[in-house]
Amino acid sequence: MELERISVVLRPRAPREALDLGAAMLRANAAAVWSAWFAFTVPVFVLCNALGVLLGLPWLGLVLVWWLKPLFDRLPLYVLSRAVFDRAPTWRETLRGQRQWSWRSTLAGLSWLRIDSNRALRLPLDLLEGAPRKQRSARWKVLRRRIVADTSLLTYGCLQFELVLFLSVWLLALLLIPHEWRPESLSDFFGRDVHDASTRWILLGATVAYLAMSAIEPLYVACGFALYLNRRTQLEAWDIDLAFRRLRARLQGLGKVLGVLLLCAGALPLSVHAAAAETPKPVVSSLDKVFGQAPDSEDRRFAEAATEVYRDPRFGGERKVRRWMFKYTPKPDTRVQEMPFPLLARVLAAVFKGLLWLLLIAAGAALAWFAWRWRGLLAPAADAPALALSHGLQVSAEAPAPLPADLAGATRALWQARRRREALALLYRGCVEHTAQLLQLPLSAEATEADWLRQAAAIEDSARAQRVVAIVRTWQFAAYAGRYPDDAAIEQLLSGWPAQTGAST
């Protein structure tokens, strides 16, 4: 992912601040989003309602349009995902670009995941990453952690906004109808007017519902996409990665500028410096010439100003304040009024008290059952896979593929095929596994390059320890700085252990 091209300020945000970011992205690309939205959804809306009228079920069009929301959500996501990196595509490019994305996740969203409250967060994970099903499931468990409540709240909030817009249009129309044309009551309206023109009223309601959906659904997708970007930034430290990339580019440009300045400085004649050194500096004779006044004159002026200020009645002296107060303050009545039916009151109080205790016990039992039932989801697993590793190696829930028997040959083949990153990743993985076997250590998905550099010091053979350090350093330079070695350096790394397990060094 080319993070340096992104137009959004990457930093960890609170979930509600990320929702504001989604609304801002939608406002900045409103023309591209809604042009593509209406270009695709208007024909679908017309076809669905025409099908409902032909079948004699005019309400079917409204239901179909609402059910096809996951299909429509692909359009705003395509526009926003391109707009944050380069530019917003046109509606024709958006429609043509739908062929690049898989349709399996959309079919799932139209079937068993249709009522999923986390659809806004799941959509960019399924469409933008395109990972296999098992890996996508593992990534989803990590991605949704700690923001499930926010995504569900986003879903229900947008649903309420659609309902508010739908009802507001009808209330506005009711206010604009002249009084003499209004029905006598709602029962007459629904019993006579709506029943007589049921098809027209349903089509009109479907149109209003479609307009409300068109106003809110792109906002729903944009906010979900912003939550996705924010979660990836939190887990993968995109902001730190981008800062290091910009720092590297800035230092490269600064090196050229410093070289030019040094050449210019070396060309200056030495006589200029000598003349500047011989120029006599003026000598100050007294403090009066330094400050331009007597040493204590400023103190006297400050004392006179402070005395003048304290003479002002607003800053000093005594004041008299008059205010109205009640002469006789009424005392609160603390007498307990006697109840007309003390026995019945006590019985009812005891009954309600018992019911409240039973309700409290039931709530505690329900919470305990819920905690026991979902304890695996509430507590993060110790071996949970990372969401994504931004530099090559990926750890998934399933067992990794075994290393090739000829590690050197496989690495050399990838390198000669111009797949340099994959070649170094394979060599680094083989180095890690062979080092773990040599030191009799368990493989850990949480171990970093720095950990393996420290483990290399425990190898008794100094030649092997130096080769481990060389391979790890080569992988770090390639993964983090984009600096790849030449062919001779690769051949030197592949000439012995661990690329060739039979070699002594």
Instruction: Please say if the pLDDT value at position 274 is more than 60.
Output: no
Instruction: Please say if the pLDDT value at position 182 is more than 90.
Output: no
Q: Which of 213, 245, 277 is the last residue of a domain?
A: 245
How many domains is the chain partitioned into structurally? 2
Question: Quick check: helix, strand or coil at residue 242?
Answer: helix
Residue-averaged pLDDT of the chain: 78
Which DSSP state fits 5?
G
Residue 158 has a pLDDT of 93
DSSP-derived secondary structure for 103-131: SHHHHHHTTTTTT-TTHHHHHHIIIII--
Residue 215 in any domain: the answer is: yes
Instruction: Please say if the pLDDT value at position 389 is more than 50.
Output: no
Phi-psi region at 459: left, alpha or beta (left = phi > 0; alpha = psi -120 to 50): beta
Q: State the Cα–Cα distance between residues 435 and 468, nearest whole angstrom.
A: 8
Q: How confident is the model at residue 162 (pLDDT cuts 50, 70, 90)?
A: very high
121's CB contacts (< 8 A; 6+ apart) are: 143, 144, 147, 151, 224, 227, 228, 231
8 A C-beta contact, residue 248 and residue 481: yes
Radius of gyration of the chain (CA): 37
Q: State the Cα–Cα distance between residues 346 and 352, nearest whole angstrom.
A: 10
Sign of the Cα torsion 59, 60, 61, 65 reads positive
Average pLDDT over residues 347-376: 82
23's CB contacts (< 8 A; 6+ apart) are: 219, 222, 223
8 A C-beta contact, residue 477 and residue 483: yes
Average pLDDT over residues 156-170: 92
Residue 437 in any domain: the answer is: yes
Q: State the Cα–Cα distance between residues 267 and 250, nearest whole angstrom.
A: 26
Tokens of 460: 């008794």
Instruction: Please say if the pLDDT value at position 51 is more than 80.
Output: yes
Tokens 């068109």 identify what position?
Answer: 214
Which position has the higher pLDDT, 89 or 236? Answer: 89
369-387 residues labelled b (16+ CB within 10 A) or e (exposed): eeeeeeeeeeeeeeeebbb
End-to-end CA distance of the chain: 37
8 A C-beta contact, residue 222 and residue 22: yes
Which position has the higher pLDDT, 285 or 1? Answer: 1
Residue 332 in any domain: the answer is: no
Q: How confident is the model at residue 487 (pLDDT cuts 50, 70, 90)?
A: confident
Residue 78 has a pLDDT of 92
Q: State the Cα–Cα distance between residues 100 and 325, nearest whole angstrom.
A: 79
Tokens 């309902």 identify what position?
Answer: 163
Instruction: Please say if the pLDDT value at position 4 is more than 60.
Output: no
Q: Which of 195, 210, 245 is the last residue of a domain?
A: 245
Q: In degrees, to the nearest 5, what angle opens at C-alpha 238 toward C-alphas 235 and 239?
A: 120
Which position has the higher pLDDT, 142 or 305? Answer: 142
Q: How confident is the model at residue 385 (pLDDT cuts 50, 70, 90)?
A: very low
Domain that holds residue 32: 3-245
Average pLDDT over residues 305-323: 72
Q: How confident is the model at residue 209 (pLDDT cuts 50, 70, 90)?
A: very high
Average pLDDT over residues 95-121: 87
Tokens 């080769």 identify what position?
Answer: 467
8 A C-beta contact, residue 82 and residue 73: no
Share of the chain above pLDDT 70, in %: 71
Residue 108 in any domain: the answer is: yes
Q: State the Cα–Cα distance between residues 245 and 482, nearest whole angstrom.
A: 10
Q: Which of 245, 273, 297 is the last residue of a domain?
A: 245
Residue 339 has a pLDDT of 54
Per-residue pLDDT tens over the stretch 422-452: 988 888 888 888 888 888 888 777 788 888 8
8 A C-beta contact, residue 395 and residue 445: yes
Tokens of 345: 């009151």
Share of the chain above pLDDT 90, in %: 17
Instruction: Please say if the pLDDT value at position 461 is more than 60.
Output: yes
Q: How confident is the model at residue 192 (pLDDT cuts 50, 70, 90)?
A: low
Count how many residues are written for the chain. Answer: 505
Average pLDDT over residues 345-367: 86
Residue 453 in any domain: the answer is: yes
Per-residue pLDDT tens over the stretch 225-262: 999 888 888 877 665 666 666 666 666 666 666 666 66
Residue 283 in any domain: the answer is: no
Residue 386 in any domain: the answer is: no
Residue 102 in any domain: the answer is: yes
8 A C-beta contact, residue 79 and residue 94: yes
